[in-house]
Every structure is written in structure tokens, then in C-alpha cells.
Amino acid sequence: MSVLKTACVQISAGLDDAANLARLEAMIGEAVAGGARFVALPEYCGCYGMAEGRLEVGAVAEAEHASLKALRDRAAAHAIWLLIGSLGVRAPDGRIANRSFLVNPEGAVAARYDKIHLFDVDLAGGESYRESADVAPGDRAVLADLDGTGLGLSICYDLRFARLYRSLAKAGASILSVPAAFTRKTGRAHWHVLLRARAIETGSFVVAPAQCGDAPDGRLQRYGHSLIVAPWGEVLADAGPEEGVVMAELDLARVIEARRMVPALRHDRPFTGPEAALSSLAAE
């Protein structure tokens, strides 16, 4: 595969699973009509909001997940690769996994990834989030095979941890996926900058489908601006703040060219960490 027509679906998901699914299916159909062979959905695309003061993501066991089954069926019906940005999956111990699924054109799950870095922050103005109160972190980076192309999986807050993406790129990823539900406050300041940085420093395409709009209780304000970024850092598609679909052609030869011009992935050198320097100063 030399050129991959790719689409990002941007949705403002709420607590009504069926309504969310109906909009996702319609937008997947729009992407397919536009020629997309790889369609990417945002984080918590099936259900997302607050209920009785806690995060609600419609978590059930994977084998019982109606949204997962329906989206797998859509991938098979359209014969496309589908990234389900994430769904809440109930683990046997009762905790929730924030899990991303790559589904192949036959509707089978080709890869799973559980979000490693959890969003526990206190923003200015009293805005506070504790994802770890409900979600168990993953512990494994995942490189998936998308029809012979390496796809590095990640979710939202992972974006701030550059080592993950460097590891994925060095393992063979040409495309990095970053499905998200970035807050409006952090999104305005950091979303475009961080996504372009991850593309530039790894010489990879970045596909970042995002949630937009306000969750039903008004507390969760999402930035939108689903992006597709080229390996040299230019933005190929930006969905803006509203629901919709954006598309771009990923010419995978550009990955080779970017890494040839700036071969930084081959230039890592061992170095002594700052802890050793501090220990030396203390000894003096």
C-alpha cells in the first residue's frame, strides 16, 4: 500500500449509546463514500459524560459490548480498516480499561491497546480531572499491522509522553494514532503543537480523531479539531470545532523521505542521566 485514504470522524458523544452509534455509523458511511479505506473514531466514542459526579463511559465486558459488535459489523460491511478510538471495557476485577481497537476489513479485531497514561490533572480555575479514579492503566505499547503498514496505537493523554511515540516509530510505525477527548482549555494551548511535534520528531503520519462539544452536564468541554498531520509536520486536515468528517491521503513514501532527510530515529546515543550529576555534586 503506497497511498492510504484516511478519515477522522469527529463526534460529540453523550450518554445515549444508541444515539452515538447511529451518528458514528452515518459518518463512517460518509467517509467510505469519500473513498476512505482507513477510518478513525475518537476516544470514548460510544458513550462519554458524567453521571452522579463520576465519569460514565458505558463500560461492559468486551464480549458483551454492543457498540464494539456494531462497529465491527460496520467495518466488515464497508470492507475498511476501522480504528475504534476507545470504548470503556469492564475488566474482571471491576475496573475499567480505556481500550482502543483496530478492526480489519473482515470485522475481526486486529489489535487492542489499553491507555497507559491517565489524565489526573488540576487546571487553572478549579477544573480538575481524575481518570485514575475509574480507569486502570495499561502497561504495554502496541504496534499494529494495518495491511502491511505499522500503526502505533495511543490514546489522548499519551500524547504528552514523547518516548512512547519514539518507541513505536523505532519499532516500525509509519502512522501514529491519537484518538482523544482533549479538554478545550488544554486543547487550545497544546493540541496542534503536540501532534505536530510527534509527527516531526518521528517522521510519521499522525491521525488524531477527537471529540468535540460539551458533554450533557456541561462539565466536559471538548476541543475537537481532529487532525491528520504529515511526517514533515504540516496539517493535512483539521475538523474544526463541530461534528463531521475530514479526510486526507497518506502517501507513505513521505515517511521514508522525512526520515531520510532527518534520520533522528537512528541518532540516539547513550548518556548519563542527571541523577548521576546530582549525586556527584552532593558528594563534593
- 106 counts as catalytic: no
Contact assessment for residue 120 and residue 129, using Cβ atoms and an 8 Å cutoff: yes
Alpha-carbon span 83 to 105, nearest angstrom: 11
- 5 counts as catalytic: no
Alpha-carbon span 69 to 165, nearest angstrom: 29
* C-alpha count within 13 angstroms, C-beta hemisphere, residue 44: 30
Phi-psi domain of 133 (left: phi exceeds 0; alpha: psi -120 through 50; beta: other): alpha
Query: Quick one: DSSP state of residue 180?
Result: B
- In degrees, to the nearest 5, what angle opens at C-alpha 225 toward C-alphas 221 and 230? 145
In sequence order, what are the beta bridge partners of 229? 206, 235
Q: Which of 45, 115, 131, 212 is catalytic?
A: 115
- 156 counts as catalytic: yes
Q: Which of 43, 47, 56, 212 is catalytic?
A: 43
In sequence order, what are the beta bridge partners of 56? 49
Alpha-carbon span 41 to 118, nearest angstrom: 19
Q: Which of 45, 47, 156, 212 is catalytic?
A: 156
Burial state string for 163-201 with b = 16 or more CB within 10 A and e = fewer than 16: ebbbebbeeebbbbbbbbbbbbebbeebbbebbbbbbbb
The cell for 28 is: 463512517
Q: Catalytic amino acids?
A: 43, 115, 156
